[in-house]
Amino acid sequence: MKVYIETYGCALNQGDASIMQGIIEGRGHEIVNDASIADAIIIVTCTVIDTTQQRMLSRIRKFKEKYNGKKIVVAGCMASAQPGLVKKVADDAILLSPLEVISIVDAIEGRKTYAGIKAGIERKIDISMNIPISDGCIYGCSYCITKKARGNLISYPMDLLYEDIKKAISKGCREIRLTSQDTASYPNLPKLIEKVASIEEDFRIRIGMMHPLSAYKILDEIIEAFKNEKVYKFLHLPLQSASEKILERMKRGYDIDIFSEIVEAFRKEFDITLATDIIVAFPGESDEDFNETIEAIKKIEPDVTNVTRFSPRPHTPCWGMKRIPTEIAKERSRIASKIVNEISLKRNKRWIGRKTRVLVLNEYKGWRVGKNDFYKSVFLKKAEIGKFLDVKIFDAKITHLEGEPI
């Protein structure tokens, strides 16, 4: 059977897609890059905000209209969080929840699907791989539909993850991305990092997003784990808001002081690359609340800040909350985006003239693109993919650095 896969959304979805591809090929089926020649079409969906949801529905509808008669499998978060919505546009679509990805072959071959652990399994081996270490979450943020989609925390066995990663490294993978909704809630994350880093070969480990409250509980241990030379000095720690009132409405469980303490502790040890996220125009956010967040961002100076306008999601406590007028939301987003871009450029300019080691990972618009040990994207004119290079940085943009091999 020929199978086409189209994937959207977060690193977890990317990891799930690599699992499905590995299992499909391992069972003798063929992955193709053209839906028109496929016998089955898989779309791995995201529904984190409304605009993404609409895009997913549009793609599903197009597949249904253009390839009626082919098997269509809708995986990802829409399959579990909004099955009724999917069925409205493709009534015969096969739904595969995030916990059922290991039974993808059962889905395309017409058998009943089942949930199972995402470790000790086949995966598509690539130079960079997202490895889901858990699914679900121990928290209940008031705006988050992903909780509905992926449920409560399920962590995958450390020994099996280790064996999967060891196999991937032996077959040429050079960047392992430990992925979860909240990596810091994985039982003994520092031990997992230590175990993975013990694998022989020169490769890098990226630790995915951490909930500040989870990171705070294991702060000393996680900083110690980050000292390993194979671990990118990169911290993804979502702030969402600096307003105590808004954080309470979001049910985040921490305040700006806890967030700042984590950042300061990491910066004391490393020249850490900090990525964060903020939601603007959350229900009830006053000008004062918004300004608190902006001032916090100016003070903390994250290297990367993802700015998102609040988008109400069904099945969440925020669904019925009174929304802030669109004009105000757009203006706050514009103000925030301008400021965070200025900060990103400022942070990147610090690298001009510096020498750094870069792992070359892919090609983009004629450039070779890699990551340095601080997870900064570095663009090079000429480089061999999969190799480490010593590079001198000669320019900086908002999103990346430009360099040349020494």
Sorted by where each begins, the domain ranges of the chain are 2-108, 128-349, 355-405
- Per-residue tens of pLDDT for the chain, all 406 residues: 999 999 999 999 999 999 999 999 999 999 999 999 999 999 999 999 999 999 999 999 999 999 988 999 999 999 999 999 999 999 999 999 999 999 999 999 999 999 999 999 999 999 999 999 999 999 999 999 999 999 999 999 999 999 999 999 999 999 999 999 999 999 999 999 999 999 999 999 999 999 999 999 999 999 999 999 999 999 999 999 999 999 999 999 999 999 999 999 999 999 999 999 999 999 999 999 999 999 999 999 999 999 999 999 999 999 999 999 999 999 999 999 999 999 999 999 999 999 999 999 999 999 999 999 999 999 999 999 999 999 999 999 999 999 999 9
The pLDDT assigned to 16 comes to 98
Taking only Cα atoms into account, the Rg of the chain, rounded to an integer number of angstroms, comes to 21
Query: 343-346, long-range: CB within 8 Å, 24+ apart, which pairs?
Result: 343/297, 343/298, 343/301, 343/302, 343/303, 343/305, 344/302, 344/303, 344/304, 344/305, 344/398, 344/399, 345/396, 345/397, 345/398, 346/301
CA distance 328 to 220: 41
CA distance 184 to 213: 9
**CATH number of 128-349, picked from 3.80.30.20, 3.40.50.300, 3.10.20.30, 3.30.70.60:** 3.80.30.20
CB 179 within 8 A of CB 12: yes
The pLDDT assigned to 400 comes to 98
Backbone phi, then psi, for 147, in 5-degree steps? -60, -40
Structure tokens at 293: 């967040």
CA distance 76 to 355: 41
The pLDDT assigned to 156 comes to 98
CA distance 125 to 312: 37
Using CA atoms, how far residue 265 sits from 224, 234, 247, in Å, is 11, 13, 22
CA distance 74 to 343: 39
- The correct answer on CATH 3.40.50.12160 for the domain covering 2-108 is yes
What's the half-sphere exposure (Cβ side, CA atoms, 13 Å) at 14? Answer: 16
Helices (H), 109-186: 146-150, 158-170
CB 385 within 8 A of CB 404: no
pTM: 0.96
Same topology, domains 128-349 and 355-405? Answer is no
The pLDDT assigned to 287 comes to 98
CA distance 110 to 130: 28
The pLDDT assigned to 80 comes to 97
Strands (E), 173-303: 175-179, 204-207, 234-236, 273-280
CATH number of 355-405: 2.40.50.140
